[in-house]
Amino acid sequence: MLARIFRAASPCLNRFILLYRHYHSPFIAIRERFRKGDHLGTISLFIQMSRERTLNPERPLFLLLLKSSLALSSYRLGISLHAHIIKIGLKNDVFISTALVDMLCKLSCLGPARKVFDEMPERDVAAWNAMLAGYAKYGYVDQAMSLFRDMRCCGVELNALTLSVLLQVCCGGPHDGKLRLGKCIHAYVYRRVLLADIFLCNSLLVYYNHCDSVCASERLFESMGARDVVSWNAMMSGYTRNGFAWRALEAFQLLRVEEGLAPDLVSVETALQACAQIGEEAIFGGEMVHAVLFKFGFPMDVYAENCLLHMYCKCGKIETAHYLFDVMETRNIVSSNIIVHGYVQINEPKKAIAVIRQLRFVEAQISSDVLVNALQAVKLLASRLECVLCMHCLVIKMGYGCDEFVSSSLIDVYGDHGEAEFARKCLDDVVGEQKNATLCYNTMLSVYLHQDYYSQVFELLRLMCQNDCKIDSVTLVNAVSACARCLDLNLGRVMHAYILRKGFDSDVYVATSLIELYSKCGHLSFACWLFSKMSFRSIVSWNSLIHGCVENGFPRVSLKLFFFMQLQDGFMPDSTSVVGAVESIGLRGYENERNYIHNFAIQSGLASDEYVANALISMHARFCEFEKARLVFDGACKDRTVIWNTFMSEYTYHGMLDNAVSVFSLMKHENVSPDSVTILCLLRICAFLGSLSCTSVVHTFICKNGYDSDAHVETSLLDVYAKCGDLHSARLLFDKMNSKTVVSWNSMIQAYGIHGNVEEASNLFSQLQQSGILPTIVTFLILISACSHAGDAEKGWQYIDLMTQAYSLSPGREHFSSFIDLLGRRGLIKEAYEFLENLPVNPGVSAWGALFGACRAEGNLKVGLAAAKKVFDIDPLHCGYYSLLSNMFMEAGRCIDAFRIRRKVESMQVKKVQGYSMIESIY
């Protein structure tokens, strides 16, 4: 029976098989090409068969074609397929429309995708998910939330993919909103008993880690019944993202040991990132991860190799990283940047430059990141300007002359070399192309600020406002710092008003700069009020107020802040905090406080910091505790010259010249290179000794070490030669100076003045005027003193008149004192007294003392007693003036009055310091 039925049906069956093969053999061929990944061949075969009309247009075929167009990232091809779908009548097919929406969204064509979505007659949850995923991928949070509300209104049931996409949308919104919505989704998942879905739980883990809620993600992770590699990867990534790199490495170990899972490439790359975040302490963990990478035979793509390079650079194994870089089969711009940045980080700029030179021979183009690191290497080299100019040429050749980040680095390097004009030209080039170059403006402001060009800071700030350039917190910090440094409180208040109007007062850095401004300008109470109103304080804020209290003479308050910083906000003091406390204790003078801060610095490990060590040495030296200062010096890091200079200068200041010379000898023995400050300390020792032979030796040392072109060193050397009586050598040195500052001129004029050569001093002053350098009040003080030594009252009066009338300089107490001494030497006692009486300001004790001394020399007891009364009203404990009055009485024959003055001095227990003179003969 069955055989008869089969034989009867066989002709129809054969015709069906032939018909199936006719229509479906082309589809099978297209599908095979798609499975092999030949997407272009898939599309070509479809076009060919469509022309031959051997292809049956059906849903599976177009789903394959849409996937191929997505793989080829071809928007035009997708639109053509869309038109073909409409033409053959498959427009209303929900599966094809959903695939079309998904393709257009992934090609970032959200507008056309939404149009297709809106035209769909019916939509299933997959279509909604595709459109939601498109909005989530490109950060359109509001549109995604609006679409989700429409989805709920249509009564569509949510699935795990919908919730996962919603969590992705939450990650792109404001912090408060996304945290609240994410918790609602978590509650929905819990209520619908969907926590068994590993994919959904993994999405929740990623969401909580993105919201910096590591504790929440840990609790969810522990409660999961089953975990896969993606779950562990999500936790490792969350730990690394939130700064818990050691936990990420621990999770990598547990993944393999406890769970028995094989890590994938993402696990390895995340572990390498965690090692890089930790640094040198994680080098063994990084090498272990590297071994796992080879053990499991993962394909080494460029990203994985770059992770290895980054890990070894951050962990201090730059040689290993460079070896891996050399053996890489394929590199990208990130690989080069990692190596160059690694050498910059370990302060090896020469090797960084060598890598860049090598890249120039291999690659035609260098990335902007590499150029930024190259400029940083040039900055570390502290090389000549020619090297910076070469890098500038390379920047222009590579086409990055107007790149904001590269130009900002270039401005910074020029500023570090003291070339503000070149830096400004770079800024002008960038501004010519793009007005809103805030980063470059901020860097230029910082350059001007560090070079004390305060007027240029404010001019550049006005230019930013004129060009409608965005002003951020960094801009305002630079502007307020400029106001603080030039002590311009009025302009600082204008900046404060602008900060309040624009809402920057809540920024901790801006608020800290305002505290510094008011502290430096003497308005400490207002600075304290600003500090108390800060909602969040950083350690920099505390340090600013601590140092502000010290500078304004409130060391007790400064110390209280030092302790409150630790008790209230829990900040551990850094080197700046400790330096502020040391300076406060130095002003108070209590021994127990000095011992406390000394021990605190040692126990906290900050005593080796050069700034803390310098402050401690100066504090102990101020109270002549040189044994304790020596302990600090011995325990400090002596690689830098600064601490040697501090110790030498303190010994010199307190007259312990032998100890200062011993420190210098030890410095040479330790192979520490001296700087200009070291030379100045040596010259100060020579000035104290008055030794011409020592000065000659130091002069030889200066020439040998290349400091003979330093203007400060040359001026100091000139001054020492003059003080040692060798005017000839001083003048030769002055004439050979390439760049003479006003200080240099003042020193040479003073040299002639103290030796009584007023005529030569006057000639030199005339040359100063002709050179174009403006004289200062110190210049005129030196000239008036020279006239006083020579007794030339007429010329002294001419200099006072020139100072006030021609140069608009106000004379100080020192000028009045020198002029009174000049009048007294000429015997013009009455004129000197009338001059002081008619002054609108208090001339000070020095001026009245000069008149007092002149009265004794001239025997004018009447005016002398009047001058003595003025002196003792101002300074009642000056023993020298009491001795002078006693001698005046004795010379006038009033022995009883002289005896009474001496008894008074003895009862006051005031001793006169004996003077001495020490100078080595030049003959």
At residue 476, the pLDDT reads 92
Q: Residue 453 falls within a domain, yes or no?
A: yes
Q: Residue 80 falls within a domain, yes or no?
A: yes
Q: What's the CATH number where 73 sits?
A: 1.25.40.10
601-642 per-position pLDDT tens digit: 888 888 888 889 889 998 998 888 888 888 888 888 777 788
CA distance 586 to 333: 54
CA distance 681 to 679: 5
Q: Residue 170 falls within a domain, yes or no?
A: no
Q: Residue 454 falls within a domain, yes or no?
A: yes
User: Of 790 and 354, which is predicted with more confidence?
Assistant: 354
Stretch 742-764: mean pLDDT: 84
Strands (E) located in 750-811: none
Sorting pLDDT into bands at 50, 70 and 90, what band is 5?
very low
CA distance 82 to 75: 10
Q: Which of 11-25, 139-153, 824-838 has the highest mean pLDDT?
A: 139-153
Mean of all residue pLDDT scores within the chain: 80
What single DSSP character describes residue 811?
P
CA distance 917 to 923: 18
Q: Which residues contact 256 (CB under 8 A, 6 or more apart)?
A: 262, 263, 292
CA distance 232 to 202: 9
Residue among 105, 145, 107 at smallest CA distance from 127: 105
Domain boundary among 157, 181, 198: 157
Sorting pLDDT into bands at 50, 70 and 90, what band is 366?
confident
**Core vs surface per residue 862-890: b (16+ CB within 10 A) or e:** ebbebbbebbbeeeeebeebbebbbebbe
User: Of 894 and 703, which is predicted with more confidence?
Assistant: 703
* Three-class secondary structure of residue 120 per DSSP: coil
28-66 per-position pLDDT tens digit: 777 777 777 777 777 777 777 767 665 666 777 777 777
Q: How many CB atoms lie within 10 A of CB 513?
A: 26
User: Of 769 and 177, which is predicted with more confidence?
Assistant: 769
DSSP notation for 637-670: --SSHHHHHHHHHHHHHTT-HHHHHHHHHHHHHT
Sorting pLDDT into bands at 50, 70 and 90, what band is 23?
very low
Structural domains in the chain (count): 2
CA distance 401 to 487: 37
Alpha-carbon torsion, ordered 529, 534, 537, 540, to 10 deg: -50
Q: Residue 86 falls within a domain, yes or no?
A: yes
Contact 516, 548 (CB under 8 A): yes
Domain boundary among 471, 500, 516: 471
Q: Which residues contact 626 (CB under 8 A, 6 or more apart)?
A: 620, 650, 651, 656, 659
Statement: residue 20 has pLDDT above 50: no
Give φ, ψ of 414 to 5 degrees.
-60, -40
Domain boundary among 453, 471, 489: 471
Sorting pLDDT into bands at 50, 70 and 90, what band is 517?
very high
290-332 per-position pLDDT tens digit: 888 888 877 777 888 888 888 888 888 888 888 888 888 777 7
Stretch 180-190: mean pLDDT: 71
Q: Residue 583 falls within a domain, yes or no?
A: no
Instruction: Return the residue matching tokens 């840990």.
Output: 218
536-578 per-position pLDDT tens digit: 888 999 999 999 999 888 889 999 999 988 888 788 888 899 9
Q: What residues make up the domain containing 64?
A: 24-157
Q: Residue 354 falls within a domain, yes or no?
A: no
Contact 747, 779 (CB under 8 A): no
CA distance 59 to 93: 8
Q: Residue 606 falls within a domain, yes or no?
A: no
At residue 6, the pLDDT reads 39
pTM above the 0.85 mark? no
